[in-house]
Structures are given as structure tokens and as C-alpha cells.
Structure 1
């Protein structure tokens, strides 16, 4: 997956706003970040539940891993999107959106 495709996917969720976040791009719903994109490194950060984080990290630990420090313990997970299948990234992105979005919006996308 490339940065343009990821951006298109992230923006496809209802009420998503794209904003700068330090050296990255963030995607937010209800003022809360559900994804970040580092365009240069082609890595994204997604907010997952502890169980989902564990499942994804176990699948491809060389390309999917918890963020450093407390962020990783809060479910933030790094995906190296240039090495992963689009469907997997889309599933993880949907989970991240649903973890952050208001319940009414999240129900539209539950997998």
C-alpha cells in the first residue's frame, strides 16, 4: 500500500478530518486520532484494543509492532504498510476507527 491509498481509505470513514500531527499526518474523528501516517517511512499508527494489537503483532512481528513506551501499552500499533496486504491494513484501520469513533458512527463499520 502507498500513502495515497492509505489516505483515501482513512478519509472514507464518516466525519474524518485530516490534520498535521508533528511530522506526521493524523486522521481524526470527534477530535480524537484514530490513525497517523508517516509518508516518508510509509508507516502508520493505529489505535487497537489489546487483543487486536496482540493478534496483528503475532501475525507479522517484523512489520507490525506496538508503539514505544506508554503509547504501545495504550494499544497504539505501528504498521509498515509497504510490506503488508491492503486488506489487512484496511481491517486494522476499520478497527482503529471503531475504537475511537462515537458509538453511533462505529456501528456503521463494525467488522
Structure 2
């Protein structure tokens, strides 16, 4: 079973990740926030694509569920930290990859 300390360690090991407070949670971001850890350390919210969210919630419904309301429809997903450390690491990597800075194709000028 993973813990809040495991989530923090795994997230901070990902390139470019920084931790900062976010309301009553700890947020982990690279270009955007991809994970927030609940104050009690028992759950976290991860930002997935809607497709990744559907897959996680279908394959592990006991641990993953959409955040209620509009946030959930955008891919924000609650994970109970009763998952294994390996499952948590895989989920964090998926969320981290989705938060990496987007690159413009070569030759495309920046809009002003």
C-alpha cells in the first residue's frame, strides 16, 4: 500500500517537478499541476486525459474515481493511496507526461 510520503517521493523524482501549497493540499507541478496530495495523506487527485481517466477507473474502480462535477469531466481523478507503489508510480507518470510543456512544431511563430 502506498502512502502520502511515497507519492511525494515519486512525484519529486520526476524531472522538473516542484511542490507548492494549493489550498489545503500539496501540489506537484511541472508546467501545470498534475497531482495534489490530500492533507490527510490518504488520497490524491491526478490530472489525466479523459481517455486515461476512463482506463484507470475501469481497470481499478476500487482505487480510482473521477472527481465529482466538471473537474472530473476534464480528467481530474481521485486515487486512494491503497494502491501499490508500482500502480501509484505508473499513474503519476501518466499525469506528469500530460503536464509537460507542449512544444510548438518547428517554424511556427509564437502568437502575441
Asked if these proteins are the same fold (TM beyond 0.5), I'd say yes
- Runs of 4+ residues deviating >3 angstroms: none
Whichever of the two has the greater Rg, that structure is: 2
Q: Determine whether 1:97 maps to 2:105.
A: no
Whichever structure has more helix as a proportion of its residues is: 1
Could you say what secondary structure the match of 1:68 adopts? Answer: coil
* 1:78-102, Cα deviation, whole Å (9 max, x unpaired): 0001x21111111110010000112
Q: Determine whether 1:64 maps to 2:70.
A: no
Greater relative CO, 1 or 2 (CA 8 Å, sep 6+): 2
Deviation at 1:38, TM superposition (A): 0.7
Structure 2: stretches of 5+ with no match in the other structure: 104-112
Structure 1: stretches of 5+ with no match in the other structure: 105-111
Deviation at 1:63, TM superposition (A): 2.0
TM-score, L = length of structure 2: 0.84
Corresponding position of 1:36: 36
TM-score, L = length of structure 1: 0.85
Aligned residues: CA RMSD: 1.3
Corresponding position of 1:50: 50
Deviation at 1:62, TM superposition (A): 2.8
Q: C-alpha distance in 2, partners of 1:60/1:35?
A: 18
